[in-house]
Amino acid sequence: MNSGELLKRAANVLRIEADGIASMIGRLDENFVRALQLLADCSGKVVVTGMGKSGLICRKISATLASTGTPSFFLHSADALHGDLGMIMKEDVILAVSNSGETSEILKILPHFKFLGLKLVVMTGKTDSTLAKAADVVIDVGVREEACPLGLAPTASTTAALAMGDALAIVLLEHKGFKEEDFALRHPGGILGRRLLLRVEDLMHSGRELPIVRSDTAIKEALFEITDKRLGVTGVIDEREKLVGIITDGDVRRGLQTHGTEIFGKTAQEVMTSAPRTIPKDALASEALTRMEQNTPRPITSLFVLDVGSEKPIGVIHLHDIFKAGL
Protein backbone atom coordinates (compact mmCIF):
# COMPACT_ATOMS: atom_id res chain seq x y z
CA MET A 1 0.00 0.00 0.00
CA ASN A 2 1.15 3.51 -0.74
CA SER A 3 1.02 6.31 1.85
CA GLY A 4 -2.43 7.45 0.75
CA GLU A 5 -3.87 3.96 1.18
CA LEU A 6 -2.17 3.56 4.56
CA LEU A 7 -3.70 6.79 5.84
CA LYS A 8 -7.10 5.82 4.45
CA ARG A 9 -6.93 2.50 6.26
CA ALA A 10 -5.89 4.16 9.51
CA ALA A 11 -8.78 6.62 9.23
CA ASN A 12 -11.15 3.70 8.67
CA VAL A 13 -9.90 1.97 11.84
CA LEU A 14 -10.50 5.12 13.88
CA ARG A 15 -13.94 5.55 12.31
CA ILE A 16 -14.97 2.00 13.17
CA GLU A 17 -13.80 2.36 16.75
CA ALA A 18 -15.47 5.77 17.12
CA ASP A 19 -18.71 4.35 15.72
CA GLY A 20 -18.48 1.51 18.22
CA ILE A 21 -18.34 3.96 21.12
CA ALA A 22 -21.04 6.21 19.67
CA SER A 23 -23.43 3.28 19.18
CA MET A 24 -23.46 2.63 22.93
CA ILE A 25 -24.88 6.06 23.73
CA GLY A 26 -28.31 5.10 22.39
CA ARG A 27 -28.24 1.85 24.36
CA LEU A 28 -27.66 3.45 27.75
CA ASP A 29 -30.60 2.51 29.97
CA GLU A 30 -31.58 1.58 33.51
CA ASN A 31 -29.04 -1.23 33.48
CA PHE A 32 -26.27 1.37 33.58
CA VAL A 33 -28.00 3.11 36.50
CA ARG A 34 -28.43 -0.18 38.38
CA ALA A 35 -24.79 -1.10 37.80
CA LEU A 36 -23.69 2.31 39.00
CA GLN A 37 -25.76 1.96 42.17
CA LEU A 38 -24.28 -1.46 42.91
CA LEU A 39 -20.78 -0.03 42.62
CA ALA A 40 -21.69 3.03 44.69
CA ASP A 41 -23.21 0.88 47.46
CA CYS A 42 -20.28 -1.53 47.56
CA SER A 43 -18.82 -1.59 51.09
CA GLY A 44 -15.84 -3.67 49.97
CA LYS A 45 -13.93 -3.47 46.71
CA VAL A 46 -14.97 -3.61 43.08
CA VAL A 47 -13.23 -6.69 41.69
CA VAL A 48 -12.74 -6.34 37.93
CA THR A 49 -12.04 -9.60 36.13
CA GLY A 50 -11.40 -10.72 32.57
CA MET A 51 -9.06 -12.60 30.26
CA GLY A 52 -6.80 -11.77 27.34
CA LYS A 53 -7.30 -8.35 25.78
CA SER A 54 -10.40 -7.83 27.90
CA GLY A 55 -8.22 -8.52 30.93
CA LEU A 56 -5.94 -5.65 29.92
CA ILE A 57 -8.97 -3.39 29.68
CA CYS A 58 -10.05 -4.61 33.11
CA ARG A 59 -6.74 -3.48 34.58
CA LYS A 60 -7.32 0.03 33.25
CA ILE A 61 -10.92 0.15 34.48
CA SER A 62 -9.87 -1.02 37.93
CA ALA A 63 -7.05 1.54 38.08
CA THR A 64 -9.42 4.34 37.06
CA LEU A 65 -11.98 3.31 39.68
CA ALA A 66 -9.34 3.16 42.41
CA SER A 67 -7.90 6.57 41.56
CA THR A 68 -11.33 8.23 41.50
CA GLY A 69 -12.64 7.13 44.86
CA THR A 70 -13.90 3.57 44.36
CA PRO A 71 -11.62 0.93 45.93
CA SER A 72 -10.90 -1.69 43.30
CA PHE A 73 -8.43 -4.35 42.16
CA PHE A 74 -7.97 -6.49 39.07
CA LEU A 75 -8.44 -10.25 39.35
CA HIS A 76 -7.01 -12.33 36.51
CA SER A 77 -9.69 -14.92 35.80
CA ALA A 78 -7.21 -17.74 35.22
CA ASP A 79 -5.23 -16.95 38.38
CA ALA A 80 -8.49 -16.92 40.31
CA LEU A 81 -8.80 -20.64 39.54
CA HIS A 82 -5.46 -21.26 41.23
CA GLY A 83 -5.80 -19.54 44.56
CA ASP A 84 -6.45 -15.86 43.88
CA LEU A 85 -10.14 -16.32 44.71
CA GLY A 86 -8.95 -15.91 48.27
CA MET A 87 -8.59 -12.20 47.56
CA ILE A 88 -12.37 -11.81 47.28
CA MET A 89 -14.51 -10.90 50.30
CA LYS A 90 -18.26 -11.06 50.87
CA GLU A 91 -18.57 -7.26 50.75
CA ASP A 92 -17.13 -7.04 47.21
CA VAL A 93 -18.90 -6.51 43.89
CA ILE A 94 -17.72 -8.27 40.74
CA LEU A 95 -17.39 -6.47 37.41
CA ALA A 96 -16.69 -9.04 34.68
CA VAL A 97 -15.74 -8.06 31.12
CA SER A 98 -16.09 -10.52 28.24
CA ASN A 99 -17.05 -9.61 24.69
CA SER A 100 -18.33 -13.11 23.92
CA GLY A 101 -19.82 -13.74 27.35
CA GLU A 102 -18.52 -17.29 27.08
CA THR A 103 -14.99 -16.91 28.50
CA SER A 104 -14.46 -20.30 30.13
CA GLU A 105 -12.19 -19.06 32.93
CA ILE A 106 -14.83 -16.57 34.08
CA LEU A 107 -17.63 -19.13 33.84
CA LYS A 108 -15.65 -21.54 36.01
CA ILE A 109 -15.41 -19.05 38.88
CA LEU A 110 -19.09 -18.01 38.75
CA PRO A 111 -20.09 -20.66 41.35
CA HIS A 112 -17.67 -19.11 43.83
CA PHE A 113 -19.19 -15.68 43.29
CA LYS A 114 -22.65 -17.11 43.86
CA PHE A 115 -21.50 -19.04 46.95
CA LEU A 116 -20.33 -15.77 48.52
CA GLY A 117 -23.52 -14.04 47.46
CA LEU A 118 -21.65 -11.42 45.45
CA LYS A 119 -23.41 -9.08 43.04
CA LEU A 120 -22.22 -9.53 39.46
CA VAL A 121 -22.10 -6.76 36.88
CA VAL A 122 -21.24 -7.94 33.37
CA MET A 123 -20.03 -5.89 30.42
CA THR A 124 -20.44 -7.95 27.26
CA GLY A 125 -21.16 -7.73 23.57
CA LYS A 126 -23.55 -10.72 23.75
CA THR A 127 -26.48 -10.02 26.04
CA ASP A 128 -27.87 -13.54 25.60
CA SER A 129 -24.60 -15.27 26.58
CA THR A 130 -24.04 -17.62 29.53
CA LEU A 131 -22.23 -14.92 31.49
CA ALA A 132 -24.97 -12.38 30.84
CA LYS A 133 -27.65 -14.77 32.08
CA ALA A 134 -25.77 -15.25 35.34
CA ALA A 135 -25.40 -11.51 35.96
CA ASP A 136 -27.37 -9.25 38.26
CA VAL A 137 -26.88 -6.41 35.77
CA VAL A 138 -25.78 -6.53 32.13
CA ILE A 139 -24.29 -3.58 30.27
CA ASP A 140 -24.31 -3.97 26.50
CA VAL A 141 -20.92 -3.01 25.01
CA GLY A 142 -21.43 -4.79 21.69
CA VAL A 143 -20.05 -3.33 18.44
CA ARG A 144 -21.17 -3.91 14.89
CA GLU A 145 -17.68 -4.80 13.65
CA GLU A 146 -14.07 -5.02 14.70
CA ALA A 147 -11.51 -2.75 13.08
CA CYS A 148 -9.38 -5.81 12.36
CA PRO A 149 -10.01 -6.76 8.68
CA LEU A 150 -9.95 -10.44 9.69
CA GLY A 151 -12.56 -9.85 12.35
CA LEU A 152 -10.33 -11.65 14.84
CA ALA A 153 -8.18 -9.23 16.86
CA PRO A 154 -10.24 -7.43 19.55
CA THR A 155 -10.13 -3.76 18.58
CA ALA A 156 -13.42 -1.88 18.48
CA SER A 157 -14.85 -4.19 21.14
CA THR A 158 -12.08 -3.51 23.63
CA THR A 159 -12.21 0.22 22.90
CA ALA A 160 -15.96 0.17 23.61
CA ALA A 161 -15.46 -1.73 26.86
CA LEU A 162 -12.77 0.73 27.96
CA ALA A 163 -15.00 3.71 27.18
CA MET A 164 -17.90 2.20 29.11
CA GLY A 165 -15.58 1.55 32.05
CA ASP A 166 -14.59 5.21 31.96
CA ALA A 167 -18.26 6.19 31.87
CA LEU A 168 -18.93 4.12 34.98
CA ALA A 169 -15.92 5.50 36.84
CA ILE A 170 -16.52 9.15 35.98
CA VAL A 171 -20.26 9.15 36.63
CA LEU A 172 -19.55 7.31 39.89
CA LEU A 173 -16.98 10.00 40.75
CA GLU A 174 -19.59 12.72 40.31
CA HIS A 175 -22.27 10.69 42.11
CA LYS A 176 -20.00 10.38 45.15
CA GLY A 177 -19.01 14.06 45.15
CA PHE A 178 -15.35 13.20 44.58
CA LYS A 179 -13.25 16.40 44.52
CA GLU A 180 -9.80 17.57 43.39
CA GLU A 181 -8.50 17.21 46.93
CA ASP A 182 -9.61 13.56 47.03
CA PHE A 183 -7.87 12.91 43.73
CA ALA A 184 -4.69 14.53 45.01
CA LEU A 185 -4.63 12.27 48.07
CA ARG A 186 -4.47 9.30 45.72
CA HIS A 187 -1.82 10.90 43.50
CA PRO A 188 0.75 12.40 45.89
CA GLY A 189 3.56 11.88 43.39
CA GLY A 190 1.89 13.77 40.57
CA ILE A 191 1.84 17.51 39.86
CA LEU A 192 -1.78 17.82 40.95
CA GLY A 193 -1.05 15.98 44.17
CA ARG A 194 1.86 18.25 44.98
CA ARG A 195 -0.16 21.34 44.08
CA LEU A 196 -3.03 20.37 46.37
CA LEU A 197 -1.12 18.74 49.22
CA LEU A 198 2.12 20.65 49.73
CA ARG A 199 1.82 23.33 52.40
CA VAL A 200 4.01 26.34 53.03
CA GLU A 201 5.30 24.79 56.27
CA ASP A 202 6.57 21.79 54.25
CA LEU A 203 8.92 24.03 52.25
CA MET A 204 9.70 27.05 54.42
CA HIS A 205 13.04 27.86 56.04
CA SER A 206 12.78 28.22 59.80
CA GLY A 207 14.84 28.22 62.97
CA ARG A 208 18.51 28.97 62.34
CA GLU A 209 17.81 29.28 58.60
CA LEU A 210 15.43 32.21 59.12
CA PRO A 211 17.04 35.57 58.18
CA ILE A 212 15.99 38.19 60.74
CA VAL A 213 17.39 41.55 61.94
CA ARG A 214 15.99 44.20 64.25
CA SER A 215 14.80 47.54 62.92
CA ASP A 216 17.73 49.43 64.48
CA THR A 217 20.34 47.06 62.98
CA ALA A 218 22.97 48.76 60.79
CA ILE A 219 22.41 48.05 57.09
CA LYS A 220 25.89 46.54 56.91
CA GLU A 221 24.90 43.91 59.47
CA ALA A 222 21.62 43.33 57.62
CA LEU A 223 23.61 42.68 54.44
CA PHE A 224 25.72 40.11 56.31
CA GLU A 225 22.50 38.37 57.40
CA ILE A 226 21.20 38.29 53.83
CA THR A 227 24.50 36.82 52.62
CA ASP A 228 24.78 34.31 55.45
CA LYS A 229 21.28 32.84 55.04
CA ARG A 230 21.55 32.76 51.23
CA LEU A 231 17.92 33.57 50.54
CA GLY A 232 18.43 37.06 49.13
CA VAL A 233 16.27 38.61 51.84
CA THR A 234 16.00 39.32 55.55
CA GLY A 235 13.02 40.14 57.67
CA VAL A 236 13.01 43.20 59.91
CA ILE A 237 11.34 42.97 63.33
CA ASP A 238 10.46 45.58 65.95
CA GLU A 239 10.98 45.46 69.72
CA ARG A 240 7.96 43.15 70.05
CA GLU A 241 9.51 40.81 67.46
CA LYS A 242 6.72 41.50 64.96
CA LEU A 243 7.61 41.68 61.28
CA VAL A 244 7.60 45.31 60.14
CA GLY A 245 9.46 45.04 56.87
CA ILE A 246 11.93 43.19 54.64
CA ILE A 247 15.20 44.03 52.96
CA THR A 248 16.29 42.25 49.80
CA ASP A 249 19.70 42.25 48.17
CA GLY A 250 18.00 44.21 45.39
CA ASP A 251 17.00 46.90 47.89
CA VAL A 252 20.64 47.23 48.94
CA ARG A 253 21.85 47.49 45.32
CA ARG A 254 19.24 50.14 44.51
CA GLY A 255 20.20 51.99 47.69
CA LEU A 256 23.83 52.03 46.61
CA GLN A 257 22.83 53.49 43.25
CA THR A 258 20.78 56.21 44.93
CA HIS A 259 22.82 57.04 48.04
CA GLY A 260 26.24 55.57 47.32
CA THR A 261 28.21 54.39 50.33
CA GLU A 262 26.09 56.63 52.56
CA ILE A 263 23.60 53.77 52.70
CA PHE A 264 25.91 51.95 55.11
CA GLY A 265 25.22 54.65 57.67
CA LYS A 266 21.52 53.85 57.66
CA THR A 267 19.54 51.36 59.75
CA ALA A 268 17.41 48.47 58.54
CA GLN A 269 14.26 50.48 59.24
CA GLU A 270 15.41 53.29 56.95
CA VAL A 271 16.02 50.96 54.00
CA MET A 272 13.37 48.26 54.43
CA THR A 273 10.16 47.81 52.48
CA SER A 274 7.30 48.20 54.97
CA ALA A 275 4.15 46.05 55.15
CA PRO A 276 5.59 43.11 53.18
CA ARG A 277 3.42 40.34 51.83
CA THR A 278 3.15 37.37 54.18
CA ILE A 279 1.46 33.98 54.23
CA PRO A 280 0.31 31.54 56.96
CA LYS A 281 2.14 28.23 57.35
CA ASP A 282 -0.93 26.12 56.54
CA ALA A 283 -1.51 27.81 53.17
CA LEU A 284 -0.89 25.76 50.04
CA ALA A 285 2.54 26.19 48.49
CA SER A 286 0.77 26.87 45.20
CA GLU A 287 -0.95 29.84 46.86
CA ALA A 288 2.46 31.17 47.88
CA LEU A 289 3.56 30.99 44.25
CA THR A 290 0.43 32.86 43.16
CA ARG A 291 1.04 35.62 45.69
CA MET A 292 4.63 36.02 44.53
CA GLU A 293 3.66 36.24 40.87
CA GLN A 294 0.79 38.69 41.48
CA ASN A 295 2.88 41.16 43.46
CA THR A 296 2.99 44.59 41.84
CA PRO A 297 4.78 46.48 40.46
CA ARG A 298 7.14 43.52 40.18
CA PRO A 299 7.00 39.85 41.23
CA ILE A 300 8.78 38.87 44.43
CA THR A 301 10.81 35.76 45.21
CA SER A 302 10.03 35.14 48.87
CA LEU A 303 7.28 35.41 51.46
CA PHE A 304 7.64 35.52 55.21
CA VAL A 305 5.49 33.13 57.21
CA LEU A 306 3.84 34.54 60.31
CA ASP A 307 2.53 32.84 63.42
CA VAL A 308 -1.22 33.48 63.32
CA GLY A 309 -1.51 34.36 67.01
CA SER A 310 1.52 36.57 67.59
CA GLU A 311 2.23 37.74 64.02
CA LYS A 312 5.88 36.93 64.62
CA PRO A 313 7.88 35.54 61.67
CA ILE A 314 8.40 31.78 61.95
CA GLY A 315 9.68 31.05 58.46
CA VAL A 316 10.29 32.19 54.93
CA ILE A 317 9.43 30.41 51.68
CA HIS A 318 11.47 31.13 48.57
CA LEU A 319 10.49 30.81 44.92
CA HIS A 320 13.33 28.32 44.36
CA ASP A 321 11.90 26.01 47.06
CA ILE A 322 8.58 25.94 45.24
CA PHE A 323 10.23 25.19 41.89
CA LYS A 324 12.32 22.40 43.46
CA ALA A 325 9.11 20.84 44.74
CA GLY A 326 7.87 20.57 41.17
CA LEU A 327 5.22 23.26 41.29
pLDDT single digits (tens) 231-261: 889 999 988 889 998 988 888 888 788 777 7
Taking residues 92-106, what's their average pLDDT? 96
pLDDT, position 185: 55
Compute the Cα dihedral for 168, 170, 176, 181 and give only its sign. Answer: positive
Sign of CA dihedral 250, 256, 261, 266: negative
The confidence score (pLDDT) of residue 111 equals 93
Confirm if 83 and 109 have CB atoms less than 8 A apart: no
Contact 61, 49 (CB under 8 A): no
- Ranges of each domain in the chain: 3-178, 200-324
Question: Poorest-confidence range of 29-33, 108-112, 130-134, 243-247?
Answer: 243-247
- Domain 200-324: CATH superfamily is CBS-domain (3.10.580.10)
- Quote the pTM value: 0.64
CATH topology of domain 3-178: Rossmann fold (3.40.50)
What is the average pLDDT value for the chain, to the nearest integer?
88
Amino acid 274: pLDDT: 86
pLDDT tens digits, one per residue of 289-323? 888 887 666 678 888 998 877 778 999 998 888 88
Where is pLDDT greater, at 275 or 28?
28
Query: What's the number of CA atoms in the CB half-sphere (13 Å) around residue 278?
Result: 23
- For residue 263, what pLDDT is reported? 81
The pLDDT, as a whole number, for residue 256 is 82
88 vs 199 pLDDT, higher one: 88
Instruction: Tell me what the mean pLDDT of segment 128-134 comes to.
Output: 97
- pLDDT by residue (tens digit) across 182-203? 565 555 555 555 555 678 888 8
Q: Are 235 and 229 in contact (CB under 8 A)?
A: no
146 vs 183, more confident: 146
Average pLDDT over residues 151-159: 89
**pLDDT score for 253:** 83
